[in-house]
Chain A
Amino acid sequence: MISLPGLNLSAPSIEPPSLIAPTVTRTQDLSAGTEFRFEVPFSRTLTIKLLSGTAEYFGTELAPSSTYSFSGAKGAIYTWHGAKLEIGGEAESEYVAEETGMMGYANAHFALENLRDKAAQTNDTGPRVLVVGPENSGKTSVVKILTSYAVKAGRQPVVINLDPRQGMLSVPGSFSAAAVSSIIDIEDGWGSSPISGPSPIPVKMPLVYHYGLKDPEESRFFRPLVTRMALAVTSRMEEDQASKLAGFIIDSPGAISGGKGGVYENVEHIVSEFSVNIVFVLGSERLYSDLSRKYSNRPADEAVHIIRLDKSGGCVDRDEMYMKALRQTQIRAYFFGHAGENALGPHSQVADFNDLNILRIKEASDSNPSFRPGDNDDDDAYGSSTEIYEKLTPSSLMQNSLLAVTTAAANERQEVIRDSSVTGYIYIADVDETKRKVRFLAPQPGQTPSTAMVTGSFPEDVPGLVS
């Protein structure tokens, strides 16, 4: 491992830093049952402090007199009892909403609590929840609220993210699962995966798989990974009593809620693999109706309850620009943490071309079945007997891309590589084709990983992560 001197590891912000210093503050009174909604672009910072009363941000309570800062966030501070907030900085838009879906979400939580209590009596598995709905219908927010409330009630639910568009405790393009026993970070999505030092919010320990594509249509990756994750989560729940009783909550990608002619293969796949027994449908009337019909005549002991929750009026469409910035922030945060006290120091290393075993996901269009025949003996359960990865020699094209470091050996079968969890991500900073050297960024120092590394079309390259 070589650390390159002169390599600027300090994180430059994506956009120019906030020009308006949040020195001027104002107070905002919220009456009980209302929420303060705001959108802050990545270039600005909004600070919010709870002066009196109680308030929560997607279910996580704001500590009294702590100042929270938001950047690149579209969020809402809800209060059950009324609150007075001190707000600093300027948001892109902000208003107080009187109609929220919170009562419904709270009811959903208490319905789950009933099931958890029941599970505790019978030593059964707690509620197994899937949240579905179109893009921007507030799925992740509902998952957060349900998780926060469960944690508040002393539970330890497992949260599973199957939406590659935004990562949970990891980078976008990944699927992850984590048992949540501590409060969710208000400022930073879900919080942080473990780091080598202390963290002001308890870290969460995720299990991460790399998906590497933007949308979950491809059955070659999505369903096998769902199956694999279901296996891991079920195994964990069998042994971990606290998680078993609390059950799990799955966040899903909006794309699977579209369906094809009223058939939702991916939803059904998740439901059957995870033995989901409660599906919360957000917004879409049609999806609710289709799923209700589909699961209406199941035997009572395997009943799947389809419950529709109102989409919050606060859900805003997040355009591709915002989503991209959000992804880049997530990737940056993976390596650098957040600016200020909680900054992380990734390690820059140089490796020989031969040290890296890079595989690239073959996109559906890339139909070249005989590229590397040979080591593919059995048929895959999902009919993709063709190769799913191709070996890749580093080239300057790979610059700025993200590689998932799997736990599988480089010479493993491709299905094994696909189904293996990842230990982390590295970022290709520079490729020197003449010297056959690759300079890359790894989260922690150590030997260059010799396991298989996977890259795909998603997440997109992050130019300028290291200048």
Chain B
Amino acid sequence: MSLPSAEVAADFKDALQDLKINSRPEISNLTIIAKENTEHAQAISRELENHIRTTRPEWKLPALYVLDSIVKNVGTPYTVYLGRNLYRTFMDAYTLMDPGTRKAMEGLLKTWKQPVPESMESRPVFPPEVTRDIENALIKFRTIAVQQQALSQKPSMQHSLPARPVAGVPWRSTPTPPQNARFTAPNDPRVRQPYPSTAPYPSTATPLNHFQPPPSQPPPISSIDLEGLKADLTKIITSTKTAFALNPSDVTIQQKLKALLDLETILRTQTLPPQQLEAVRAQIQNLSPPPVPMPAYSPVTAAHALVHSPQQQALPSFPPSNPTFNLAQILASVKSPVPPSSTPVAPPVAPPAAPTPSLADILRNVSSPAQQSATPTTATPFYPPPFSTAPPVPTPTTTPAIPPPPPNLAQLLAQFTQPSATSPAQSTLSNPQPVPQLPPQPAATTSTLGGTDWVLNALKGLPIPSIGGTPVNAQATSLASEPMIRQVSATTNAQNDVELSTASMKKPRLHLISKLYEALPNICATCGRRFENTLQGKEKKARHMDWHFKVKDPDAAKRGVHRSWYISEKEWIEYREVDETSPEQITKGPTGAAITAKKETKDKYVPVPTDAALLHAPCPICQEKFEPQWLVEANDFVWMDAVKVNGKIYHATCWEEYTRGSNLVAPSTPDSVLGKRKAESANYGGSKMKVR
């Protein structure tokens, strides 16, 4: 069986190697070979993948067309075999391509999300989970490309590719939206990005046409309302994602998206008391733009629609060589004020200034730093890119100035929920009070609140039950007591006053329960295991989900599973539990430990900060800039060899040398009390990542 398979594969390979241009006869010839040898589909698929991976960049596209032709004309089993590695095949090639070819590849990807034209089959060419991962990667790819371009201050963008939105991606139905690294290829190519591939246009208005009218005057929230609330939130998330895809460099949108996703997690995993739901609802309404698409936005919407349409040749109408033209239009349109009457729901938070309820404005009101990238107030063309106006790089000695945080939405939220807590009757009111305290121009100040913080702070601002063991009636949880306070540090025991006595066991301490729930807000939908909402928690959850995926083996039953013998006493004493959330490589023995210690420093990392000031700050010790890279474990872009100390980011190795030299005890970055966790975090030695 294997011999003919190898022969067919070899023939196929030979034919492939002759394919150097986009030649229809050659491609259809290859397709026919594939069609006639479906029994060798696996070998052929492998050959094709190998070829795409190894051949010269300029020959990759024709090979990808072969892949495309095969999956569309032959279908299964090729879709199955090729689908498995599609992410890698695609992304590996994409990385090496020039922008023009990339556009072609994006066109291919788009057709893969749809059914084969003129076919009876209504399913897309590749399953959505395959294409979605690629989509997500492309979004990230563009983000980092633009950031990188901004950092290097090279206004060399020659091609502007319209970023495609990801509207319609069923985000909520993904088991684990952001952490799902299931298809992430081990060596992720997304960071190798010599050319910026996309143009960030400030089309924050585009997603408007996706919005539904926000619910009007809400009654007190019941669980049915909760569903509606979630649905609204999902809509906003979808559209924010779209906005993000269109404008990946926009830190504000990025932060907002993150915040929204966090909020969604909270809503999904936790039961919020009514006031908080009210607050969240008000917040969501604020974020929901008016339902009517405004005609002023039509230029962008049109461009946007073009991207959706199959005729890609229509794109020249958005000429990359002359971006200012369109930009001016867009800017004009964005700036044009919208008559307040067009909003059916009076915004609960009414800014004293002329209300322009565009997403960007609302966002600006929310809290965010780095507005300059988001607000299209200056009529500058694309270049210099958004970050060129970044704040000056702080010197090592200055601590980042922390201005008194401007009254942001989080605080407002807290403000108008506060009274409702003292007089519960008010909690039924949806918009208790107008809030005139909203500053007209929060954009001018730099807020210290990061993306997610506003949500958390908003929630924290709510009344807190007397901490320290005042008896709290168990029945009162829904109103007075506050299970939502996220324990800032789950390991501190300031409030854990349980003593080893029978009497102490009887005292109700509902505030401690949050350590079991709210301190671990990230729940696995499959088994109920909870994770911290930290970087490590996310990594753990990603690995945990990988594990779930791995054990879901449909063939297992066929192979005949049986119980194993128990291990002996000695083996048991030496056995160590394997936690599916820990990195796979476990170094053992003293030598391993020494190596890990060394690696520990080098492999410390922080996620690429969203704060523009931090983003541009070099290491205060060596004055070298940080290089972002994609880290599979974190499923995020990170700065390797970096530690964050007192709000500043240093090279981990620099910092170590510095602290060792001065014999200084590092300001306590709270270390986990568990040796186990420490060991885990030390284990990025085996981390698979690509240096850009």
Report which A residues bind B (CB closer than 8 A).
31-33, 52-54, 60-66, 80-84, 103-104, 106-108, 110-111, 113-117, 120-121, 149, 152-156, 170, 177, 179-183, 193-202, 205-208, 232, 235-236, 239-242, 245, 278, 288, 305, 307-310, 334-335, 337, 341-347, 405, 407, 420-424, 443-445
Report the minimum CB–CB distance from A313 to chain B (whole Å): 15
Cross-chain contact B565 with A444 (CB below 8 angstroms): yes
Q: A103-B474, A183-B527, A232-B573 are in contact. Are A307 and B500 (CB under 8 A)?
A: yes
Interface flags, B521-564, vs A, CB<8A=1, else 0: 00111111110000000000000000010111100110111111
Q: Residue of A at shortest CB range from B569?
A: A421
Which stretch from B242-250, B511-519, B604-612 is at the chain A interface? B511-519
Cross-chain contact B528 with A61 (CB below 8 angstroms): yes
Report the minimum CB–CB distance from B505 to chain A (whole Å): 5
Can you list 10 A-B pairs, Cβ within 8 angstroms, ordered by A?
A: A81-B270, A107-B505, A108-B505, A120-B675, A152-B520, A196-B560, A196-B561, A236-B575, A308-B502, A421-B568
- For A208, what are the chain B residues with a Cβ–Cβ distance below 8 Å? 566
The 4 closest A-B pairs by CB, nearest first: A197-B561, A63-B528, A198-B551, A33-B474
Residue from B508, B551, B579 in contact with A200 in the complex, judged by beta carbons closer than 8 Å: B551
Q: CA of A61 to CA of B499 in the docked complex: distance in angstroms?
A: 26
Q: Does B577 contact A (CB under 8 A)?
A: yes
> Mostly helix, strand, loop or mixed at chain B's interface?
loop
Q: CA of A201 to CA of B548 in the docked complex: distance in angstroms?
A: 9
Q: A103-B508, A107-B505 are in contact. Are A32 and B674 (CB under 8 A)?
A: no
Q: Does B154 contact A (CB under 8 A)?
A: no
Q: Residue of A at shortest CB range from B268?
A: A64
Residue from A64, A241, A424 in contact with B269 in the complex, judged by beta carbons closer than 8 Å: A64
- For A156, what are the chain B residues with a Cβ–Cβ distance below 8 Å? 577, 676
Residue from the set B502, B552, B553 with the largest chain A CB neighbour count within 10 Å: B502
Q: A82-B478, A198-B551, A307-B501 are in contact. Are A236 and B573 (CB under 8 A)?
A: yes
Q: Residue of A at shortest CB range from B553?
A: A198
Residue from B505, B562, B576 in contact with A346 in the complex, judged by beta carbons closer than 8 Å: B562
Q: A52-B271, A198-B550 are in contact. Are A61 and B530 (CB under 8 A)?
A: yes
- For A65, what are the chain B residues with a Cβ–Cβ distance below 8 Å? 525
Residue from B496, B509, B564 in contact with A103 in the complex, judged by beta carbons closer than 8 Å: B509
Residue from B504, B560, B572 in contact with A236 in the complex, judged by beta carbons closer than 8 Å: B572
Residue from the set B271, B504, B557, B677 with the largest chain A CB neighbour count within 10 Å: B271
- For A33, what are the chain B residues with a Cβ–Cβ distance below 8 Å? 474-475, 477
Q: Residue of A at shortest CB range from B506?
A: A104
Q: A52-B223, A103-B474, A153-B515 are in contact. Are A307 and B577 (CB under 8 A)?
A: no
Q: A207-B572, A345-B562 are in contact. Are A242 and B474 (CB under 8 A)?
A: no
Cross-chain contact A114 with B496 (CB below 8 angstroms): yes
Q: CA of A342 to CA of B483 in the docked complex: distance in angstroms?
A: 37
- For B523, what are the chain A residues with a Cβ–Cβ distance below 8 Å? 61, 63-64
Report the minimum CB–CB distance from B245 to chain A (whole Å): 28
Q: CA of A445 to CA of B502 in the docked complex: distance in angstroms?
A: 51
Q: Does B226 contact A (CB under 8 A)?
A: yes
Chain B: interface residue total (CB-CB under 8 A): 73
Q: CA of A197 to CA of B560 in the docked complex: distance in angstroms?
A: 8
- For B490, what are the chain A residues with a Cβ–Cβ distance below 8 Å? 153
- For B270, what are the chain A residues with a Cβ–Cβ distance below 8 Å? 54, 81
Q: Give residues 478-501 of B contacting A (CB, 8 Å).
A: 478, 483, 490-491, 493, 496, 498-501
Residue from the set A52, A154, A201, A305 with the largest chain B CB neighbour count within 10 Å: A154
Cross-chain contact A66 with B577 (CB below 8 angstroms): no
Q: A110-B509, A181-B577 are in contact. Are A62 and B528 (CB under 8 A)?
A: yes
- For B665, what are the chain A residues with a Cβ–Cβ distance below 8 Å? none
Cross-chain contact A107 with B569 (CB below 8 angstroms): no
Residue from the set B491, B512, B528 with the largest chain A CB neighbour count within 10 Å: B528
Cross-chain contact B563 with A183 (CB below 8 angstroms): no
Report the minimum CB–CB distance from B149 to chain A (whole Å): 41
Residue from B528, B563, B675 in contact with A443 in the complex, judged by beta carbons closer than 8 Å: B563
- For B502, what are the chain A residues with a Cβ–Cβ distance below 8 Å? 288, 307-309
Q: Does B673 contact A (CB under 8 A)?
A: yes
Cross-chain contact B475 with A183 (CB below 8 angstroms): no
Q: CA of A404 to CA of B328 in the docked complex: distance in angstroms?
A: 83
Q: Residue of B at shortest CB range from A59?
A: B516
Report the minimum CB–CB distance from B475 to chain A (whole Å): 7
- For A182, what are the chain B residues with a Cβ–Cβ distance below 8 Å? 529, 577, 579-580
Cross-chain contact B493 with A179 (CB below 8 angstroms): no
- For B578, what are the chain A residues with a Cβ–Cβ distance below 8 Å? 181, 202
- For B529, what are the chain A residues with a Cβ–Cβ distance below 8 Å? 61, 182-183
- Known contacts A153-B515, A156-B577, A305-B500; 13 further A-B pairs (Cβ under 8 A): A32-B478, A33-B474, A63-B526, A104-B506, A107-B498, A154-B676, A183-B529, A195-B562, A205-B567, A205-B577, A242-B675, A288-B502, A422-B566
Residue from the set A32, A241, A310 with the largest chain B CB neighbour count within 10 Å: A32
Q: Residue of B at shortest CB range from A156?
A: B577
- For B505, what are the chain A residues with a Cβ–Cβ distance below 8 Å? 104, 107-108, 111, 307-309
Q: A197-B561, A207-B569, A443-B562 are in contact. Are A239 and B574 (CB under 8 A)?
A: yes
Cross-chain contact A82 with B673 (CB below 8 angstroms): no
Q: Residue of A at shortest CB range from B673?
A: A120
Q: CA of A110 to CA of B675 in the docked complex: distance in angstroms?
A: 19
Cross-chain contact B568 with A80 (CB below 8 angstroms): no
Q: A181-B577, A198-B556 are in contact. Are A193 and B676 (CB under 8 A)?
A: no
Q: A80-B513, A421-B569 are in contact. Are A154 and B562 (CB under 8 A)?
A: no
Q: CA of A60 to CA of B524 in the docked complex: distance in angstroms?
A: 13
Q: Residue of A at shortest CB range from B579?
A: A181
Q: CA of A426 to CA of B525 in the docked complex: distance in angstroms?
A: 38
Report the minimum CB–CB distance from B267 to chain A (whole Å): 10
Cross-chain contact A421 with B563 (CB below 8 angstroms): no
Cross-chain contact A195 with B561 (CB below 8 angstroms): yes
Residue from A154, A232, A337 in contact with B561 in the complex, judged by beta carbons closer than 8 Å: A337
Report the minimum CB–CB distance from B93 to chain A (whole Å): 33
Residue from A54, A179, A239 in contact with B577 in the complex, judged by beta carbons closer than 8 Å: A179
Cross-chain contact B493 with A114 (CB below 8 angstroms): yes
Q: A32-B477, A104-B506, A183-B529 are in contact. Are A423 and B568 (CB under 8 A)?
A: yes
Report the minimum CB–CB distance from A241 to chain B (whole Å): 5
- For B673, what are the chain A residues with a Cβ–Cβ distance below 8 Å? 116-117, 120-121, 245
Q: A120-B674, A183-B527, A345-B560 are in contact. Are A193 and B566 (CB under 8 A)?
A: yes
Cross-chain contact A202 with B580 (CB below 8 angstroms): yes
- For B493, what are the chain A residues with a Cβ–Cβ distance below 8 Å? 113-114, 117
Q: CA of A265 to CA of B504 in the docked complex: distance in angstroms?
A: 28
Q: CA of A424 to CA of B568 in the docked complex: distance in angstroms?
A: 10
- For A121, what are the chain B residues with a Cβ–Cβ distance below 8 Å? 673
Report the minimum CB–CB distance from B601 to chain A (whole Å): 21
- For A194, what are the chain B residues with a Cβ–Cβ distance below 8 Å? 563-564
- For A443, what are the chain B residues with a Cβ–Cβ distance below 8 Å? 562-565
- For B474, what are the chain A residues with a Cβ–Cβ distance below 8 Å? 32-33, 103
Report the minimum CB–CB distance from B515 to chain A (whole Å): 7
- For A53, what are the chain B residues with a Cβ–Cβ distance below 8 Å? 271
Q: CA of A268 to CA of B577 in the docked complex: distance in angstroms?
A: 30
- For B527, what are the chain A residues with a Cβ–Cβ distance below 8 Å? 63, 66, 183, 200-201
Q: CA of A341 to CA of B675 in the docked complex: distance in angstroms?
A: 37
Residue from A80, A307, A345, A423 in contact with B566 in the complex, judged by beta carbons closer than 8 Å: A423
Report the minimum CB–CB distance from A260 to chain B (whole Å): 25
Q: Give residues 274-290 of B contacting A (CB, 8 Å).
A: none
Q: Residue of B at shortest CB range from A194?
A: B564
Cross-chain contact B676 with A241 (CB below 8 angstroms): yes
- For B559, what are the chain A residues with a Cβ–Cβ distance below 8 Å? 197
Q: A33-B477, A52-B223, A182-B579 are in contact. Are A111 and B562 (CB under 8 A)?
A: no
Residue from B553, B563, B567 in contact with A195 in the complex, judged by beta carbons closer than 8 Å: B563
Report the minimum CB–CB distance from A285 to chain B (whole Å): 11
Residue from the set A110, A117, A346, A421 with the largest chain B CB neighbour count within 10 Å: A110
Q: Residue of B at shortest CB range from A422?
A: B566
Q: Does B507 contact A (CB under 8 A)?
A: yes
